[in-house]
């Protein structure tokens, strides 16, 4: 078995500790930093002599994973561990993710760019690069696990075969298996998640003991191409101004007020509604065709069912109907559910108890205990 692995290095503590763990396991590690290709053009003003003078902009608060400082951190870690390091520009792939993000918001849905980044970039382009350098494995610092289950020996087989399954990370507070459901099943046996069997505190301690300067670096919290967390500003800069203003209505259609753009609202939102109520109110629906935003109570957001499409299965045989635990957003606690397969690319999910804030555009992921069965996109 080849021991060469390409590791996605973001400059954070998790991927850095992953490099240490892979080396300890005897792997030949090659580090890869994925540049988004997104750079801000410097603004200039004219001096009295007619010269261009750059205008220094305030530095935005940055907690993403693709900045120049992140690349520098990743390179320093690679140098300290004496592993080859590459920083490649994946601007086209990032442009596709930005397009998806903008399209979803303007369609009144709630996007999840981290899932798409994993599908298209981290476990798509990363695998392509690994093959080009003769590596048989790819790795990342995600808190998840790939578990090999030994299958029964077939009558004509010389040895047992192994089925590789995606499982939650052992540290449930940091588990990232939800955003990994879209990985192609056929490459699961090529993926390594070195930190998935550890608690976050253990990973930071490992980094400290190894002398890595990123040991106490804060976790990424924001979307990498929106470091200031200003979604609306990004949409205006990226897609230009759209007249998306309209009415705010209640669930009966009564007009309560007006809003400046429906893309400013997501299902389940409670703050920044622009109207004061005597009791808590939430965004119940976003209607791009009428440009209406519907406001209701928490009870109005409790859904007993949902439908999802664009499915990706990580199990071999999908039953027509099965029970599972379903997760409908990254911070949602799994709920007991029954899944009915409607056709090859659509399912209906029946929850044992109605769930709050089912949002079109988000993913629903199905679990059998800690094992990821698959998932799809809420429609």
Look-up of token digits 């992953």: 18
pTM for this structure?
0.87
- Helix 68-81 vs helix 13-24: angle between axes, to the nearest 10 degrees? 20
Statement to judge: residues 30 and 147 lie in one domain? yes
Closest CA to 352 of 319, 307, 304, 306: 304
DSSP 148-205: EEEPPPPTT-SS--EEEEEEE-SSTTT--GGGGTTS-GGGGGGEE-GGGGS-HHHHHH
DSSP-derived secondary structure letter, 118 = I
* CATH classification at residue 13: 3.40.50.620
Look-up of token digits 């071999």: 316
- How many domains is the chain partitioned into structurally? 3
Other beta carbons within 10 Å of 297? 15
CA distance 91 to 119: 15
Closest CA to 336 of 346, 322, 347: 322
Last residue of a domain, one of 210, 225, 257: 210
Evaluate whether residue 311 is within a structural domain.
yes
Catalytic positions are 117, 224
CA distance 142 to 14: 7
Kindly report the average pLDDT of the chain as a whole number: 88
User: What is the layout of strands, in order, in the sheet containing 282-287?
Assistant: 255-259, 246-250, 292-296, 282-287
What domain range includes position 328? 302-378
Residue-wise pLDDT for 182-203, tens only, equals 999 999 999 999 999 999 999 9
- Helix 13-24 vs helix 200-210: angle between axes, to the nearest 10 degrees? 70
Residue-wise pLDDT for 234-277, tens only, equals 888 888 877 899 999 999 999 999 999 999 999 999 998 988 88
pLDDT for the residue numbered 197: 97
Evaluate whether residue 187 is within a structural domain.
yes
pLDDT for the residue numbered 121: 84
Statement to judge: residues 314 and 266 lie in one domain? no
Evaluate whether residue 53 is within a structural domain.
no
Evaluate whether residue 55 is within a structural domain.
no
CA angle 341, 143, 6 (to 5 degrees): 100
* CATH classification at residue 349: 2.40.30.10
pLDDT for the residue numbered 241: 77
């Amino acid at each position: 078995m080849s021991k060469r692995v390409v590791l996605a290095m973001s400059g954070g503590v998790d991927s850095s500790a992953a490099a240490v763990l892979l080396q300890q396991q005897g792997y030949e590690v090659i580090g890869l930093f994925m540049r988004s290709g997104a750079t801000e053009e410097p603004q200039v003003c004219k001096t009295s002599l007619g010269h261009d003078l750059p205008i220094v902009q305030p530095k935005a608060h940055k907690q993403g994973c693709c900045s120049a400082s992140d690349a520098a951190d990743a390179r320093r870690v690679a140098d300290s561990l004496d592993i080859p390091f590459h920083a490649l520009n994946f601007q086209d792939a990032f442009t596709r993710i930005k397009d998806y993000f903008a399209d979803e918001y303007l369609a009144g849905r709630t996007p999840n760019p981290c899932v798409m980044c994993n599908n298209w970039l981290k476990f798509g382009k990363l695998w392509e690069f690994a093959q080009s350098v003769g590596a048989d494995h790819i790795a990342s610092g995600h808190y998840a696990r790939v578990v090999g289950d030994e299958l029964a020996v077939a009558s004509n087989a010389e040895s047992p075969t192994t089925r590789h399954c995606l499982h939650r990370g052992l540290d449930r507070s940091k588990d990232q298996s939800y955003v990994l459901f879209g990985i192609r099943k056929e490459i699961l046996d090529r993926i390594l998640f070195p930190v998935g069997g550890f608690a976050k505190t253990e990973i930071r301690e490992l980094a400290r003991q190894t002398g890595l300067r990123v040991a106490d670096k804060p976790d990424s919290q924001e979307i990498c191409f929106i470091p200031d967390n200003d979604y609306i500003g990004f949409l205006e800069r990226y897609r230009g101004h759209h007249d998306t203003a309209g009415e705010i209505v209640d669930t009966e259609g009564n007009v309560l007020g007006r809003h400046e753009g429906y893309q400013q609202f997501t299902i389940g939102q409670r703050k920044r509604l622009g109207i004061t109520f005597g009791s808590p109110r939430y965004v119940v629906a976003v209607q791009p065709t009428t440009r209406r935003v519907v406001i209701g109570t928490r009870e109005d957001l409790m859904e007993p069912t949902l439908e999802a499409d664009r499915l990706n299965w990580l199990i071999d045989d999908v039953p027509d109907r099965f029970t599972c635990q379903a997760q409908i957003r990254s911070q949602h606690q799994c709920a007991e559910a029954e899944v009915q397969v409607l056709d090859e690319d659509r399912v209906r999910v029946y929850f044992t108890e109605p769930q709050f804030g089912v949002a079109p555009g988000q993913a629903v992921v199905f679990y059998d205990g800690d094992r990821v069965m698959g998932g799809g996109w809420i429609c």
